[in-house]
Amino acid sequence: MSFPLPLDPKFRREVVGQWLDDVIDRLEMGEVEDALVSWKIANVIYLNLPPGEGCLEQEARLHGLRVKISQQQSN
């Protein structure tokens, strides 16, 4: 059983950012499927933030990285 994340939205947004950094690292190494796994984890954490606690910059980053993953999958 995994340890649950603290409920603090700021902390959760930081965790999302770390997962998105991991996505970038994995894409640079050519590990597209692993990048997708990391992206999915970041997305789930982000979508479980309480209402009003989102961040437009992170949403844009999530979207942009998903597009990059899709592009690399199609190559």
1 found inside a domain: no
Q: Which residues contact 66 (CB under 8 A, 6 or more apart)?
A: 39, 43
CA distances from 24 to 7, 21, 38, 49, 65 (A): 26, 5, 10, 22, 8
Give me the mean pLDDT over the 11-34 stretch. Answer: 97
pTM assigned to the model? 0.90
4 found inside a domain: no
In whole numbers, what is the pLDDT of the chain averaged over residues?
A: 93
Model confidence at 4: pLDDT above 80: no
Domain containing residue 28: 9-74
67 found inside a domain: yes
Domain count, the chain: 1
3 found inside a domain: no
